[in-house]
Amino acid sequence: MIIYLAPIQGTTDRIYRNLFPLYFKGVDVAITPFIPSSKKMKPENNLLREYYPNINTGIPSIPQIMSTQPHDFTLLANALYKIGYGTVNWNLGCPFPMVVKKGRGAGMLCHPDRVESFLEKAIPDLKPKLSIKLRIGFKYPDEVLQLMPIFNRFQLEELIIHPRTAVQMYEGKVDLDIFEQCVHLTKHRLVYNGDIDSAGKLKMLSQRFGTIDRWMIGRGLLENPFLAEEIKFNTEKPYAEKIKIIRAFHDHLFAEYLKILSGPSHIVNKMKELWTYMGGFFENRKKIQKKIWKTHHRDNYVDVVNKIFDELI
């Protein structure tokens, strides 16, 4: 079984992906949060520097690109290939209104002709392998069924499917019946993504989808970073030990972000984003988050977080 860390813009950045495997086991690969393609992407570009392999030493990662322009896409993908990435991922799933309004991300799912034309133009010039992460539709859950024969025409590394529509955002039920239809219709390797938050949930899914052995987990792993090792090794550490490890991970992240974020409130805002998910690990989540949300300055944040961890252990 292969476990993927899902891209979560704002959280699963380079630093998070670098430090994660120092504290937690079981995650094999990550897709990075999306990079928007641009007409003037060169390997010496600042944005690309963030992807240099010598500073990406943690979970092996596949860069994700958001684009509707085949030429811009291949330019960026080939620049990533040049610095060492053998595979890139195309984002066809982002549901945010600002993105879909421009026909990007999940906004392209209801236009099979555009998807087909994009692949026809991008693939001949593309050096890295191509994987695609998609939702099942923009508005309707069966839109993906029209895309499957199109994807079958091209050589793809894999399809990562989150069986929700863009309109659903991150809520409501995942549509497992449509995912099952995709399993039957595709000739590509599939990765399942959506709402895996326990070993039991994954077991239920793997019983239903016997041919799937790749699972992508986002919020479930951010909330419980031990989830992948609990799934794979069927073991669970005592709560107190887990808290100690989470504290060490938190302190390490804080120290690393401090090196790149100037200004006493920038770092606090960054850490608050992390706590949105990580807070879910703790039994008294609401109380903890309330205390953290009230902090606005680095020093105050450190005091409050230290007190929270001291009381937990």
Ligand X SMILES: Cc1cc2nc3c(=O)[nH]c(=O)nc-3n(C[C@H](O)[C@H](O)[C@H](O)COP(=O)(O)O)c2cc1C
User: Where does this chain bind ligand X (CB under 6 A)?
Assistant: 6-10, 33-34, 64, 91, 93-94, 133, 162, 170, 193-196, 217-220
CA distances from 113 to 10, 108, 120, 136, 139 (A): 32, 9, 10, 16, 17
Instruction: Tell me the C-alpha distance between 286 and 115, whole Å.
Output: 43
Burial track 285-310 (b if 16+ CB lie within 10 A, e otherwise): eeebbeebeebeebeebbebbeebbe
CB-nearer residue toward ligand X: 38 or 248: 38
> Cα angle vertex 204, ends 202, 207, to 5°?
105
| Residue (126 or 191) nearer to ligand X, CB | 191
We find the least distance from the C-beta atom of residue 71 to ligand X, in angstroms, to be 22
Q: CB of residue 306 vs ligand X: minimum separation in angstroms?
A: 27
Using CA atoms in the order 291, 198, 168, 160, what is the torsion angle rounded to 10 degrees?
Answer: 120
Q: Which is nearer to ligand X, 174 or 267 (CB)?
A: 174
Residue 179 token pair: 């995912």
Among residues 173 and 287, whose Cβ is nearest to ligand X? 173
Least Å distance between CB 4 and ligand X?
9
Q: Distances in Å between the alpha carbon of 192 and those of 29, 182, 186?
A: 14, 11, 13
Query: CB 89 → ligand X: shortest distance, Å?
Result: 8
Residue 122 or 217 having the CB closest to ligand X: 217
Task: Please say which residue, 80 or 94, places its beta carbon nearer to ligand X.
Answer: 94
Tokens of 195: 């709402």
Q: Measured from the CB of residue 303, what is the shortest distance to ligand X in angstroms?
A: 28
Q: How far is the CB of 240 from ligand X (least distance, A)?
A: 27
